[in-house]
Structure 1
Amino acid sequence: MRFWLAVLRQAGRNLRQTWPSQLMTLLTVSLSVLIFAFFYLVYTNMISSGEKLGDDLRLIIYLEDDPGPQMREQIRRKIINFDDVEDIIFVSSAEAYERFAEQLGGNKDVLEDIPKDFLPASVEVIPLKNLRSLNQVKLFSEYLSSLPGTLKVQYGQEWVERFYYFTRLLSIVVFLSGSLLILTTIFMVSYTIRLTIFNRQAELELLKLVGATNNYIRTPFLIEGVLQGLLGSSLGIFSLFLLYQWIKAHFSGPGLLELFSFTFFSPEVVLAIVTTSIILCSAGSFTSMQKYLRI
């Protein structure tokens, strides 16, 4: 008990003596966590939204003519030979006409003088949920284009490609911001601890001469690193939460946030970010001690 009381007093003394650099380090850690957590939050929500939109993904094969029973079975077999799918729906020209008329609602009068077979027959292929990567969808679309009697295959190519490219870009940004978090956290904490060690070099040497153990000298600096990681990451996450609430309050309603369900981090993710920050700050503290205390 006495050991920990003495260690805590030493840690408090270190913080008081170097509070300007400690404050700068705290703000740097908070900003680094905020930047990383912001991009990671956007990335996770985009992935979640993509999975939800992917549930409605279907590839539509437009055919030259209405297929007969034998042709339908042949098309079904060829589709399943490529990969298992959730469902295959054949839509005749007449059914396509009826769907179109329902979509027009009160304006369906415009179809009175138009023949009911002016729309092509089609096959709607609903892929399994595991068929989601852009390359897989592209390959599947190219394969469906080779089926007999196919005019065109459509699945919202441009939107799907832009979405996947955007999520790929976000993953790169998350990786870079995570690297920035690691580098800045370790560097700033190491620099701050180094200043503290320089300021107390004579005192630390005296403690060693009178028999102070390595743990007694080392632990206060580790506590500083843990506090920097805990407080810095907590401040960064809290700032992001306030930003999230502000965006939600000012941009709710019809629009982007109505189309996509954006949510904040789960408690498990918040705990993981805080724990990682503590580990990184402790590592920075430990690195400085090993290099400059020679203990």
Structure 2
Amino acid sequence: MAVRTWLYLCRLGFKNLWHNKVYTAASVLTMAACIFLFGIFYIAVLNLDGVLTKTEEDVYVAVFFEETAAPERVEEIGNLIRERPEVERTVYTSADDAWEGFRNDYFEDGELLDGVFDGDNPLAASNHYQVYVKGIEQQEGFVEYVKGLEGVRKVTHSADTVRALLRIKTVISRLTAGSAAILLLISILLIHNTLSVGIESQKGKTRVMRLMGAREEFISVPFLVEGLVMGLAGMCIPLLLLLAGYRWGLELVAAGLSLSGGTVSLLPPAEVFPKLTAASVILGLVTGVAGGWSVMGKLKK
């Protein structure tokens, strides 16, 4: 079809939307509410991912060695650890470094300990590797591997923190996926019902167009345009509300954290909304096109 014909059919689709404006508004607002809820869950998942990423950078596995382990064996264990695919980097802390760090952290005035240990190192068995794993979900498996190595005395890690964060992430991810599925079903149903009303109201006009030899595309395109426009409109409204609400929430969270001295912060809008917009556009397009195609069978009857 020519460009002029496409433009005419698009204008016809907009006219149909205006003709059924009550049903159109109800569909768009309900769909906007669904996408708004989806957006809240999606933003929560993105921010939780950000917290997990920052946690992964700080959380490490500490591998301590037997007092009888030779330096060569300690170095060999370090090489075995570094060969693991899930290991990002390792930091070795000798017993002397551990004692020096302890003194600096808890006894700023080193003179308090002068002569107490007579040159002995009370942390002689504290040499260890700090192992940073690429993903906290891989930490449990790595810990089990290291515990089985000969010469390893103890392995410490933040198991409870890791499990709690992973459980929270799993729950929110499932809620997000569930809300997206419900959104698709409800939105497609709403668009289907709205377009069905339009088809019923224009049944006579459609019959005349077929008798005059109009092609099927000429009849169906306006309804597809209606579905697409409703999908995009239902997407734009919640995105604007979420953007305004998120910026307002950032200011509240920043003020609260500054008072409490917290270190956790929300992701900036520049990191959140490109991903949220892409997800919402996909949902809007899919629901709009699917809702339009769902009435094509009824249109041909």
TM over 0.5: yes
Aligned to 1:294: 300
**The one of 221, 224, 230 aligned to 1:222:** 224
The one of 122, 127, 136 equivalent to 2:127 is 122
Q: What's the secondary structure of 1:26's corresponding residue?
A: helix
Q: Aligned partner of 1:124: which letter?
A: Y
Whether contact under 8 Å (1:66, 1:121) holds in the other structure is: no
Counterpart for residue 280 of structure 1: 287
Q: Find the counterpart in structure 2 of residue 248 from structure 1.
A: 250
Secondary structure (helix, strand or coil) at the match of 1:293 reads: helix
CA contact (8 A) 2:78 2:129 kept: no
Structure 2 counterpart of 1:144, which letter? V
Equivalent residue for 1:55? 57
Moved more, 71-80 or 53-62: 71-80
Whether 1:163 and 2:165 are equivalent positions in the alignment is: yes
Percent of aligned positions that are identical = 22
User: Using the alignment, how far apart are the partners of 1:15 and 1:238 within structure 2?
Assistant: 22
Is the 2:191–2:292 contact (alpha carbons within 8 Å) kept by the matching residues of 1?
yes
- Residue 94 of structure 1 deviates from its aligned partner by 3.5
For 2:41, the equivalent position in structure 1 comes to: 39
User: Which residue is 1:69 aligned to?
Assistant: 71
CA distance in 1, matches of 2:223, 2:113: 80
Stretch of structure 1 that moved more, 176-185 or 210-219: 210-219
1:58, distance to aligned residue in structure 2 (A): 1.8
Letter matched to residue 220 of structure 1: P
Which deviates more from structure 2 when the two are superposed, residues 252-261 or residues 37-46? 252-261
Q: Could you tell me how far 1:17 is from its partner in structure 2?
A: 2.6
- C-alpha change, 1:147 and 1:268, in structure 2 (3 Å) is closer
| 3-state SS, counterpart of residue 262 of structure 1 | coil
Unaligned runs of 5+ in 1: none
- CA displacement at 1:272 relative to structure 2: 4.8
Which range moved further: 181-190 or 14-23?
14-23
Shift of the 257–178 alpha-carbon distance from structure 1 to 2, 3 Å rule, reads farther
Tell me the distance in 1 between the aligned counterparts of 2:218 and 2:261.
55
Closer, same or farther: CA 271–256 of 1 in aligned 2, 3 Å: farther
Residue correspondence of structure 1 range 1-295 to structure 2 within 5 A = 3-4=5-6, 6-65=8-67, 67-80=69-82, 82-83=84-85, 85-104=87-106, 106=108, 115=117, 117-119=121-123, 120-127=125-132, 129=134, 132-134=135-137, 136-253=138-255, 254=257, 258-264=263-269, 265-267=272-274, 270-288=277-295, 290-294=296-300
Q: Is the 8 A contact 1:193 1:285 kept in 2?
A: yes
Does the Cα contact within 8 Å between 1:66 and 1:92 map onto a contact in 2? Answer: no
Question: How many angstroms does 1:9 deviate by?
Answer: 4.6
Equivalent AA in structure 2 for residue 58 of structure 1: Y
1:248 CA displacement: 0.4
1:98 partner letter: E
Shift of residue 138, structure 1, vs aligned partner: 1.0
C-alpha separation in 1, matches of 2:107 and 2:121: 19
In 2, are the aligned partners of 1:228 and 1:278 still within 8 Å (CA)?
no
How many Å separate the matches in 2 of 1:60 and 1:5? 67
Alpha-carbon displacement from aligned partner over 1:122-149 (angstroms, at most 9, x marks no partner): 31232453xx152x31121122223345
> Which deviations, in whole Å up to 9, do the C-alpha atoms of 1:61-116 show, x marking residues without a partner?
23442754233234324434655744444434442222122223658788679756
Q: Relative to 1, partners in 2 of residues 1:271 and 1:95: Cα closer, same or farther, differing over 3 Å? A: closer
Contact 1:85-1:125 at 8 Å conserved across structures: no
TM-aligned CA distance change 1:66 to 1:242, over 3 Å: farther
Does the 8 A contact of 1:251 with 1:257 survive in 2?
no
Q: Any stretches of 5+ residues in structure 2 without a counterpart? A: none
Tell me if the contact between 1:88 and 1:123 (Cα under 8 Å) persists in the aligned partners: no
Deviation readout 1:199-246 (Å, 9 max, x if unpaired): 222232223223333222212211111111111111121111112112
Q: Counterparts of 2:300 and 2:238 in 1: how far apart (Å)?
A: 33
TM-score by length of 2: 0.83
Give the C-alpha shift of residue 187 in structure 1: 1.0
Q: Which amino acid aligns with 2:9?
A: V
